[in-house]
């Protein structure tokens, strides 16, 4: 009945729900608006923009998705994922040293990376269990410490204590790896693994206007989809429920008979192994990697993308990861061109890229804090 109290209450309820929905999606909506403004300002060719986003999504989505499990387990944003990237790169160095090529080389690298990643993840988990409540800062410090050890191994120990029989990979002195390792023989091996079934090419016309061509890295997209299925499945298992219980309240989980420390270590090991595979996917797409710095930005860029998608330090979903990768890398693509067109200075766009890499984490966390404060009111 029009004008009745029931109708008024129903309208108010719908308005309240809409307001709550907008608040919960405030961060991705903000970056969606920023992305749209950047696309308009940059005036890039739409086909070029879509090709770039497809490529960057394939490179980065697996890494970002690997961050979800530690968040569920209450470990926050796993900046320590950089140790997983180091495990992946170690595997790549080994298979390149023995000249193992193609998809077989990539698959073997994925297998070789596992023991390294499990070891690194276990050690990381032990440290994080002694720093409960400060996991994110501890993870960043661990990343810096691990990077120092990594540089020592590859710059000093290879060619001295660790023999290398492939001189093409070594510095002229015979000690230490070259700054760049060519991955030509496994380049795009996963991306094109399913080419015999479909090469991923998309091209069509709309009203006489050509759209495309775009090439989807089908093999990589299948791997990303498989990780999404695995993440969704693991959260429904007994282990996943234990992780969720630990993430919600460690004390209550302990009282309920859950081994909190063990569950947290398992979560970090899983994230580290997935991070190693994610780095392999990233580097096989590039076809080369910088020996001493390819891993350094993995944690920062992946965490930033996840936050942009609406995740928080206590909640992260598959959709947060997917939305974050799309929004973050859209901004990353359009910002230099937008800076050039708006200010006539290309460096402005490059500066904005640096802001995206670091400042977006602070901005997203600040917006999440505002959102949490609004919910408490």
Residues composing the chain: 377
Among 84-88, 175-179, 276-280, the least confident range: 175-179
* Domain ranges within the chain, ordered by starting residue: 28-376
Decide if 66 contacts 274 (C-beta within 8 A).
yes
**Class of domain 28-376 as given by CATH:** mainly alpha
Helices then strands, counting H and E runs in the chain, come out as: 14, 4
Q: Which residues contact residue 271 at a Cβ distance below 8 angstroms, ignoring those fewer than 6 apart?
A: 66, 67, 69, 70, 78, 81, 84, 121
3-state SS assignment for residue 160: coil
3-state SS assignment for residue 95: helix
Cis amide bond preceding 213, omega within 30: yes
Q: How confident is the model at residue 215 (pLDDT cuts 50, 70, 90)?
A: confident
Q: List pLDDT tens digits, range 258-316.
A: 999 999 999 999 999 999 999 999 999 998 888 888 888 888 889 889 988 888 888 89
The DSSP output letter for 162 is: B
Q: List pLDDT tens digits, range 309-351.
A: 888 888 899 999 999 999 888 888 887 777 777 777 666 666 7
pLDDT of residue 333: 85
Nearest Cα neighbor of 82 from 123, 127, 140, 35 is: 140
Q: How confident is the model at residue 95 (pLDDT cuts 50, 70, 90)?
A: very high
pLDDT of residue 171: 87
Q: List pLDDT tens digits, range 3-35.
A: 555 555 566 666 666 666 666 677 788 888 888
3-state SS assignment for residue 170: strand
* Pairing outcome for strands 209-215 and 288-290: unpaired
User: How many Å apart are CA 220 and CA 195, to the nearest integer?
Assistant: 11
Please classify residue 225 by burial: count the beta carbons closer than 10 Å to its beta carbon, then call 0-12 exposed, 13-18 middle and 19+ buried. Answer: exposed
Q: Considering Cα of 304, then 308, then 314, then 319, what sign does the dihedral take? A: negative
Helix, strand, coil: what percent of the chain each, to 5?
70, 5, 25
CA dihedral defined by 174, 294, 134, 28, rounded to 10 degrees?
180
Beta bridge partner(s), residue 209:
206
User: How many Å apart are CA 147 and CA 145, to the nearest integer?
Assistant: 5
pLDDT reading at 65 higher than 90: yes
The DSSP-derived string for 188-200 is: TTTTTTTTTT---
Q: Which residues contact residue 258 at a Cβ distance below 8 angstroms, ignoring those fewer than 6 apart?
A: 242, 245, 246
């Amino acid at each position: 009945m029009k004008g009745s109290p029931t109708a008024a209450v129903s309208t108010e309820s719908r308005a309240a729900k809409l307001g709550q929905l907008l608040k919960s999606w405030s961060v991705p909506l903000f970056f969606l608006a920023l992305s749209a403004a950047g696309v308009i300002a940059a005036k890039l060719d739409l086909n070029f923009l879509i090709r770039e986003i497809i490529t960057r999504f394939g490179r980065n989505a697996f890494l970002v998705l690997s961050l979800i499990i530690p968040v569920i387990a209450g470990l926050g944003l796993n900046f320590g994922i950089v140790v997983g990237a180091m495990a992946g790169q170690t595997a790549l160095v080994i298979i390149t040293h023995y000249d193992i090529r193609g998809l077989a080389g990539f698959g073997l690298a994925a297998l070789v990376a596992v023991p390294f990643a499990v070891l690194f993840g276990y050690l990381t988990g032990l440290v994080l269990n002694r720093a409960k409540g400060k996991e994110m800062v501890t993870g960043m410090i661990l990343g810096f410490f691990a990077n120092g050890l990594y540089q020592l191994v590859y710059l000093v120990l290879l060619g001295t204590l660790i023999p290398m029989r492939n001189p093409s990979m070594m510095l002229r002195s015979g000690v230490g790896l070259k700054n760049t390792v060519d991955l030509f023989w496994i380049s795009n091996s996963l991306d094109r693994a399913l080419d015999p079934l479909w090469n991923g090419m998309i091209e069509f016309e709309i009203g006489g206007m050509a759209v495309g061509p775009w090439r989807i890295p089908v093999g990589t997209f299948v791997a990303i989809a498989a990780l999404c299925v695995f993440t969704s499945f693991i959260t429904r298992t007994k282990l996943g429920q234990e992780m969720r219980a630990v993430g919600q309240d460690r004390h209550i989980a302990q009282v309920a008979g859950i081994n909190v420390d063990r569950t947290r270590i398992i979560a970090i090991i899983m994230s580290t192994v997935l991070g190693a595979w994610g780095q392999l996917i990233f580097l096989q797409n590039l076809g080369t990697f910088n020996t001493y710095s390819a891993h350094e930005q993995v944690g920062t860029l992946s965490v930033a993308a996840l936050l942009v998608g609406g995740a928080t330090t206590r909640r992260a979903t598959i959709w947060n990861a997917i939305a974050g990768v799309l929004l973050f890398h859209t901004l990353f693509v359009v910002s230099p061109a937008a800076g050039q067109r708006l200010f006539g200075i290309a460096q402005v766009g490059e500066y904005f890229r640096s802001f995206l890499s670091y400042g977006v984490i602070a901005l997203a966390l600040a917006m999440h804090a505002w959102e949490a404060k609004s919910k408490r009111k």
